[in-house]
Every structure is written in structure tokens, then in C-alpha cells.
Structure 1
Amino acid sequence: MNVVILGAGEVGFHIASRLATEGNNVSVVDMDEERLQVISDSMDVKTICGMASHPRILEAAGAANADLLIAVTTNDEVNMLACQVAHSLFKVPTKLARVREADYALHRDQLIGRDDLPIDVIISPEGEAAKVVMGRLNVSSALDAREFFGGEIQLVEFVVRPKSLLAGLSLMELPEVMGDLDVYVVAHEHNNRWTVPKGNTVLLSGDSIYVAVSRIQLDKLMIKLDMACHSPQGRNVMMVGGGHIGFKVASELEKAGAFVKLIEANGPRAEWLSDQFSNVVVIHGDALDQKLLEEENIDKMDDFLALTNDDETNILSSLISKRYGVPHVVTLVNRSIYTQLVRQIGLDVTVSPRLSTVASILSFVRKGRIHGMASLADGNLEVLEAEALETSAILNKPLKELDMPEDTVIGAILRDGKIIVPNGRVKVETHDHVLIVTTSASVPEVEKLFEVHLEFF
């Protein structure tokens, strides 16, 4: 596949890396020569320096032969215009654009279409990140929580506590301990290394795990593990940062009935925010001002959400809130260099718009019938939700006989609205939706199990 990527920032870099590794012909366009040099030194891709929306630059990038254009520059207007130029001049069949401005998103149905802006998919990093934040608020004792199968399956991350039922347990013993709870451990972290576990994997105190569990059994699982599962309703939440993500999250929390205090450093933005809400207290101030935090009763908060555009402010304010004893802290981290560091300093619950955006784009790019995709474990593992069709290679074999990569596991199957927690004897049937956890390197091999062959059409 010939792919043109516009923008060599964090998102563009990671998408280019993934697609180039999988054998695609990738060109990357950016105005920053240093960024392009970093990409050129890191992977086998073509780089072009220039304005992403200019016809001659798109032509140099190979737009005339491109199967896909991904516009992820930092400028919404450049992304949208580039899609229009790629469509009108080069007939690029598929175009994705990152659009951050909420005002555009509100009118996307009127702006995007055959006779309007020719964009096939609009990706909103803020929207994706806001979904993740809300998911983690709903399961506040967990480090991470993701929804699949339209919310029917939850992937929840926990730390194994010293006196937990799970401490010292091998995974083959898990069904005995869980009783009538159908759960499946799909990822395991020990000594800062994430792997897809086997039946003989032993869970030790301090390890982290991702568990696949059905939505209707999530509360039972939390109770069994002596963990809290709360609705945002009635919770006291302090937020810092009223940008696009903060605004979306505050809006959702207001609808859910939470008591929200939102601290915003920019005066005009704070004034604008105060006009948007009925039941959110907006405070113009510095998130690192200890006196302000004390005046606003930070020690009485159930949740603290650090959602500014500045990673350092988010990290420092989160550490301050921990010092005041806030039980649940969520930290937004934009730069990948911080992602691996924050957990080492005690900030366990993080959200990365970059990872959310990359996952959204790659889920659209994937071959076969991949309906959803997400990155877990700071990007070390991938989760795919795939549909099996009549010609898929995964059909009609017991799972234990499937030729799958070693670092891959099937965590759940959705069949006719019912969740099946798999064992080695289960077979995948036509139109089953299958939840698979694997490593980035094995994604192409897993995709082959779901590819649609020509005779299907």
C-alpha cells in the first residue's frame, strides 16, 4: 500500500513507523527538516520538506499513486485543505484528517461528504482522550479501562495486591478462584516488562494485569477483588486544564452528575468556560498554586484530573494532589518520553492522546474486518476487535490448534450478543467478533487470520 503521511510529529512518527515496518511504501511530509531527519534515520521511508497542502509537495510525496493519505499536521485547516487537494488533483481514494478544533467537530456532518470536504475519517485526539478519561473514572480502582464490542467487554488493568486472591496464583488456577465469573487475563507486567501470558504464568504481588470481563460481570469482579467501582454521579472532581479535552470531560461529568471544580490558567478561556456550564465551578488560577488548591479543598476530592496541554504541569499537579491524599488521579501525558517515566514516580493512571490517535488511525487502515484497535501497556501491546467472515482462516478450528503467533491470545468472543470466554476447545464461527491481544510485530500475522479472500465477493 502507498501511504502519504502529512506531519512528522509524535503521531505521524508512530504511524509511519508502524506502516513502514509492515512493508508499506510510506512518504512523510513536514516543514521541519530536523523532524524529518529523525524519521529518516529511524525507518525506511521517503521524506519531503514543505507545506503539506501545496500541490507540488503532495505530488513529490507520491500522491498521484497513493492509496491512502493521513493528514496529522498540527494545523486543522492545513489537514482539511490537503485532503481537498489530494482529492481534486490526485484522486487519492482514502483520506484521514486529524481535526482538533471542537467547532469543526460540531458541524462535521455538514462539512464532510461527497459534495463537501472529501474526508473519509476525521480523527479527534481530544475526543479519543476524553473517552479514555471517562472510562477510567467509571472504574476508579483500576489503572486503565477500555471498552470493546460496543461496551459489552471491558479490558481492565489492576495491580496485584499483596493479600489479593490473585497473589501467587498461576493462570491455570484462575477459574477455581473466580468461580462463576468468566474472566481472562490477556496481558501481564512483571519487572516493567509486558507480555502476553501463558497458562503457567504466576501472578506476583506488584505485577500489573489486564483482565477481559463482560460488562455485566464487572461489578462482581471488582467486589471479589475488593476494589471500588463507582459512577461519576455525586463524586467531587477537581480538574486542571480547560482546553479541548478538559472541556469535553467537564461536559460529560456535568451530565453524569459529578461536582466539578475546573482550574484554568488562561483568563479569557476561563471566562468562556464559565459561560458554558451550569453546574461546573470554573476558577481562573494556577494549578500549581498550593494556597489555591487548599482553598478549593483539594483534600476533600475523590478524583483529580490533570488535563492541560503542558505535561510538566500535569505531572507536578498530579503529584501535589497525591500528597494531599486524593485517592484517584488521572494524568494526561502528550510526550512519549514521559509515558514510561510517570509510573516510576507513582502516577499510575495516565492518558495519552498520541496513543489514542495512533490506535484510531491504525484501526481504520487495517486489512480484513478489523472493527477496533487500541494500544495497551504504554504501546507495548495491541488489542484488535475483528470479525470473522466466511473465508477467514481462523474459522472452525479449536483455538489450541490455530497457527497463531506465540505472543498472541484470544481474550473473548462475541457471538449473537453473548460473550464467550475462550478455552482451547472453542471454535470461532462465521460473524463472531473476536478480541485479540498481541504485540505490534505480530499484528500483520494476526490480520491474515481475518483477511477476506476474493472468492467471498
Structure 2
Amino acid sequence: MKIIIAGAGEVGFHLAKLLSYESQEITLIDVNKESLAYADTHLDIKVIKGDATSIAILKDARIESTDLFIGVTASETTNITACVLGKQLGAKRTIARISNTEFIRHKDEVGFTKFGIDELISPEALAAAEIELLLNQSAFNDSYEFEDGALTMFGLNLSRTATFVGKTVKEAAEILPEIHFVPIAIQRFGTQYTIIPRGDTQFKEGDSVVFITSEGGAEELCRMTGKVNREVKNIMILGGSQIGYKSARDLSKTYSNIKLVEKDREHAIELADQLPDTLVINGDGRNVDLLEEEHISDMDAFIAVTENSETNIMSCLVAKSKGVRKTIALVENMDYFELSQSIGIDTLINKKLLAANNIFRYIRKGEVVAMTKLNNMNAELLEFKVKSTSKVCNKYIKDAGFPRSAIVGGVIRDGQAHIALGDFKVTEGDMVVVCCLPRSIKQVEKMFL
């Protein structure tokens, strides 16, 4: 697949790196010579210095034969313009990164596809949505929804008190008469290996386990793992960034006591005007005395989303030491993900990863409806729509030929979620969620063509 990425910033570079690992033909366009030089020396891609809204530059990148054009510069105007031009010049599909989430809310009304933009993404809006989902399910450290929550992915660490520690997957399934969750990936404590569980796979203390759940599955998981989905009432947000603002705005619709701490005085005043249901505090969130004055120990959740990853991590650790149960930190460095559990922060989120997950489904073969890469694990979670021509159509899962390094997590049929085991028959129109290791992705894709 030939892909052009406009913008060699954090999101663009990360996307180019991930896609180059997939042996895609990547061209990266940016006006910044230094950003391009770094990408050119570190990645196996083509780079072009210039403005992505220049027709000459787009033609130089061979836009007429491009399968996917992605505009992820810092300017949403540039991204929109470049996508419109790219589509007119022959790009098969275009994706624009935007910061104004009004565009996403009204995309059908405005009709962006009519003038050449197939998809709009906002990393900040994706991060805010992720935060809201994590607060709604406070017992878990990772989450992702399929089909508006018909099936939900949850990640957690198994403690010694978990009912099924020491048991195999098959033995654990026998504890409950009607199962509403299934494990799809396990990472052993202290290792970097991702295991796709089978019936004889044993759960061990300290395992990081990812589950797919249908309705009622989250409560069952909490009961069996000793986790408590405590109600969140009091929330403190550090940083009035776009993510901080969007999180405060969205969370204030559900939660009554939200405090937002912003260091810049003028920006804090602006935020106070824009967020009437949020208490905006002008101050440095790294100041422990300030946090104590604002009763941080009474907070149920602390969310650090400043532009500085280290500030976010350190402030979450301070919040944890003051008794805050749920901590979420925004980080830019992907290497920090491996440290999150060992240093005591509940969840780390990354805009680049969220944006990449959202875009990645367009390079997968078969009709991929949604996908996410599992945090800290070498596996992907893909949602396919079954066509009449798909190899899995009208077959039982146990007879469909899935490789051992892939597992079906669940099936959504007519809006109804099913935890699908081996004797479940897949039919046309089903939405099938599959977890697979990188080595089996191509084989799984072929099953849904």
C-alpha cells in the first residue's frame, strides 16, 4: 500500500515508524528540515521537504497513485486543505487530523466526504474519550469499546486474591454458569512476551490480562479478581491543555465536583469562562502544598495532562501517595508504558498511539471496522465485518482455521454481543473481534476478505 503522511511531528513520525515496520511504501512531507532529517535517518521511508498544500509537492510524492493520504500537521487548516487537494489529485482515501471537535460532531451534516475528506480524527478528543471510559470503569487500567460498548476490552493485573489465579482458562470458565467475559491476551509478570490464551493456559499472580466482556462482564470480572469498581465523584485535572479542557467539559456532564489546575493565569481565566461547571485553580500542580490546600486526599481520581510527561508522572505519584485511588497520566514517550505498573500509576495514555490505532484500521485488509494495539503488549485487537465471501462465513469458530496465535474475543450480531466460543457459528454481517499477534495478522485478514 502506498501511503503519504503530511506532517513529521509526533503523530506523523510515530505513524510513519509503525507503518514502515509493516513494509508499507511511505512518503513523509513536512516543511521542517530537521524533523525530516531525523525521520530519514531512522526510518526506511521517502521524505519530501515542502508544503503539503502545494500541488507540485503532492505530484512529486505521486499523489495520483496513493492509496491513503494522512494529514497530521499541527494545523487543521493545512490538513483539511491537503486532504481535499489529495483527493482531487487521485488519492483513494484521505484522513485529516483536526483540533476542532465540532467538525467531528457535525461531519454528516456538513458532508466532509463530498469535498474529499473520508475521515476526521482528533487525538485530543480520543484521549478525552479514553479518560472518560477509564473513569466509568475505575477498576481497570486499560479499556476500549466496540460498537458503542456492546463489547468492551478491559485490562487488569491479577493479584493473589483473584479467584482464578492458579487455574487454567477452562477451569476458570467453569466457575460461572454463564460467561460474559473471555481472556484474549496475557503478559507474564517481568516478561515482554504476549500469550494468546488457550483452554490449558494457566493464570498466574502478577499477570497482565486483557479481557473482552459483554454486558455484565465487567461486574463479574471485578467480583472474581477482587477489584472494586468504586464510584468516582471527585476529580482533579492537572493542565488546561486541549485534553484537559475537553475532559473537564465532558466529565462535568456526569460528575459534579471537578477541579482543574492551570499554571498560566490568563489561560486559567479563559478556562473558567468556558467551563462554568468546573472549579478552575490558577497554580502550579507540582506544588504539593497547593494540592493539599485543594484537598487532593479527598479526590477519587487525578488526571495529569500537561504538555510535560515527567510533570504528569510525578504529580500522579504525589496524588497516589495522598491516597487517590485512580491516577491517569498523559505521556509522549512510548517507553514509559512499560513502567506504568511498576511505578504505581494506574494508566498511561498517549495521543500518538490513540491516533495511530484509529488510522491503522485503514491499512488492514478485509473490512476492518475498528482496531487497537494493546498497551504494553505485542498484539492487535481487530473488529472485522463478515462478508458472504469471507472464509469464516457460515463456519463454526473451531472449524474456521484460526491460527494458534489469534483468538476470537466476541461477536456482535444485530447489535447483540456474544462471547463466542468454539461452537459459535459465524454468519454474514457479524462483527467479529479478533486478538492476534503480529505474525498471524496477514493470515487472519485473509479469512475476512
Instruction: Please give the range of the TM-score, normalised by the shorter of the 2 chains.
Output: over 0.9
Classify the secondary structure of the residue corresponding to 1:169: coil
Q: Does structure 2 conserve the Cα–Cα contact (< 8 Å) formed by 1:254 and 1:280?
A: yes
Selected match of 1:128 from 126, 149, 154: 126
Any conservation in 2 of the 1:112–1:118 contact (CA below 8 Å)?
Answer: no
Residue 348 of structure 1: how far off its partner (Å): 3.1
Moved more, 410-419 or 163-172: 410-419
Measured at CA, do residues 428 and 38 of structure 1 come closer, stay the same or move farther in structure 2, by a change above 3 Å?
A: farther
**1:374 maps to 2:372:** yes
CA deviation profile, 1:64-103 (whole Å, cap 9, x unmatched) = 2212210112222221222233234x23232111112456
How much has 1:127 moved relative to structure 2? 0.9
- Going from structure 1 to structure 2, the CA distance change for 1:21 and 1:334 (only over 3 Å counts) comes to closer
Range 77-86 or range 30-39, more displaced: 30-39
CA contact (8 A) 2:157 2:206 kept: yes
Give the 5 Å matches for 1:42-441. Answer: 42-88=42-88, 90-102=89-101, 113=112, 118-190=116-188, 191-193=190-192, 194-230=194-230, 232=232, 235-378=233-376, 380-441=378-439
Going from structure 1 to structure 2, the CA distance change for 1:105 and 1:152 (only over 3 Å counts) comes to closer
Q: Name which of structure 1's ranges 431-440 and 297-306 shifts more when overlaid on structure 2.
A: 431-440
Question: How far apart, in 1, do the equivalents of 2:11 and 2:325 lie?
Answer: 32
CA distance in 2, matches of 1:328, 1:207: 20
Give 1:42 shift. Answer: 4.5
Partner deviation per Cα, 1:102-121 (whole Å, 9 max, x = no partner): 56556656765366x53221
* Consecutive unaligned residues in structure 1, runs of 5 or more: 452-457
Query: SS at the partner of 2:361?
Result: helix
Supply the distance in 1 between the matched residues of 2:154 and 2:85 (Cα, whole angstroms): 42
Pairing 1:11–2:7 present: no
1:286-331 per-position Cα deviation (integer Å, ceiling 9, x unaligned): 1101111010000111111111222111111111111111111111
> 1:359 Cα shift?
0.8
Q: Mean alpha-carbon deviation: is it higher for 98-107 or for 204-213?
A: 98-107
Alpha-carbon distance in structure 2 between the residues aligned to 1:428 and 1:104: 36
Q: Percent identity?
A: 32
Aligned pairs, number:
447
Conserved 8 A contact 1:387-1:433 = yes
- Partners of 1:68 and 1:92 within 8 A in 2: yes
1:454 matched residue in structure 2: none
Q: Are the structure 2 counterparts of residues 386 and 119 from structure 1 closer, same or farther at C-alpha, using a change threshold of 3 Å?
A: same
Could you tell me whether the CA contact under 8 Å between 2:161 and 2:225 is conserved in 1? no
TM-score (norm 2): 0.93
Deviations for 1:410-443, whole angstroms, at most 9, x for unmatched residues?
0111223333222223231111111111124433
The verdict on how the C-alpha distance between 1:192 and 1:259 changes in structure 2, with shifts beyond 3 A counting, is farther
- Aligned partners of 1:271 and 1:103: how far apart in 2? 23
Conservation of the 8 A alpha-carbon contact between 1:138 and 1:230: no
With normalisation by structure 1, the TM-score equals 0.91
Rounded to whole Å, the distance in 2 between the matches of 1:434 and 1:219 is 23
Query: Which moves more between the two structures, 267-276 or 421-430?
Result: 421-430
User: What SS does the corresponding residue of 2:340 show, helix, strand or coil?
Assistant: helix
3-state secondary structure, aligned to 1:185: strand
Query: Secondary structure, in 3 states, of the residue corresponding to 2:252?
Result: helix
SS in 2 for 1:215: coil
